Amino acid sequence: MIYTIEKQTGAAFTLKKGSLLKVIDPQGEQVSDMVLFNADDIREKISSGKTLDFENTILITQGHHLWSNRSHKMMKIVEDTNGRNDFLLAPCSAETFEILYNNPNYHPSCFENLYTNLSQFGIQPDDIPTAFNIFMNVQFAADGTLSVDPPQSKAGDYVLFEATMDLIVGLTACSAEQSNNYSFKPIQYEIIK
């Protein structure tokens, strides 16, 4: 069964060790922020710093693992048809739009869509770590400067993850204009096994 996360919304669910999660960009050029927690102890969660350290690269894709703050493997990336993801930037939040984009009004955000959907598991806003930003195209220059460019993903591109522990997963269809080329679209996912 394929689930659809409508534009600018999110979802949260459990995923058993050994199960596969397929995250699909059905229309192309859309980003999905993903956070992971150990289903048995939510104080263990996905860590950008540990993942970049153990995988020795900024660009996390097929063949790499996503690691936790306790130095455990949480997921393996089995397949990645697009190949570009980001693990540098925090999920967009109300403050992202206010500070970076001068928008003081209400704006949906991945941060809100993560913590509201994850609250059923006892996860609070302060517990949300830097997400693994699937399909997000953050380019870095030699001098370190970052730019958030349109995703390179085409309609139907997907990333296939295998859970290497029992997990709670938070997933969004990103709400930020700049991250998805100024067009809000859904994200789809499928749990296999």
Binding site for a second copy (CB under 8 A): 43-44, 47-50, 52-54, 56-59, 69-71, 88-91, 93, 95-96, 99-100, 126, 128-131, 140, 142-146
Question: Would you call 90 exposed, middle or buried from its count of C-beta atoms within 10 A (0-12, 13-18, 19+)?
Answer: middle
Question: Closer CB to a second copy, residue 30 or residue 68?
Answer: 68
The whole-angstrom separation of Cα 59 and Cα 51 is 10
Q: Report residue 180 CA to chain centroid gap.
A: 13
- Nearest approach, Cβ of residue 154 and a second copy (Å): 21
Residue 50 vs residues 25, 98, 160, 191: alpha-carbon distances, Å: 27, 29, 21, 26
- Nearest approach, Cβ of residue 26 and a second copy (Å): 27
- Nearest approach, Cβ of residue 34 and a second copy (Å): 13
Q: Which pair of tokens denotes residue 179? A: 């991250």
Question: Closer CB to a second copy, residue 82 or residue 188?
Answer: 82
Residue 101 vs residues 92, 94, 112, 152, 162: alpha-carbon distances, Å: 11, 10, 17, 23, 36
- Nearest approach, Cβ of residue 98 and a second copy (Å): 8
Question: Closer CB to a second copy, residue 2 or residue 58?
Answer: 58
The SS3 of residue 88 is coil
Question: Closer CB to a second copy, residue 24 or residue 171?
Answer: 171
Question: Closer CB to a second copy, residue 103 or residue 193?
Answer: 103
- Nearest approach, Cβ of residue 149 and a second copy (Å): 13
Between CA 115 and CA 125, with CA 121 as vertex, the angle to 5 degrees is 25
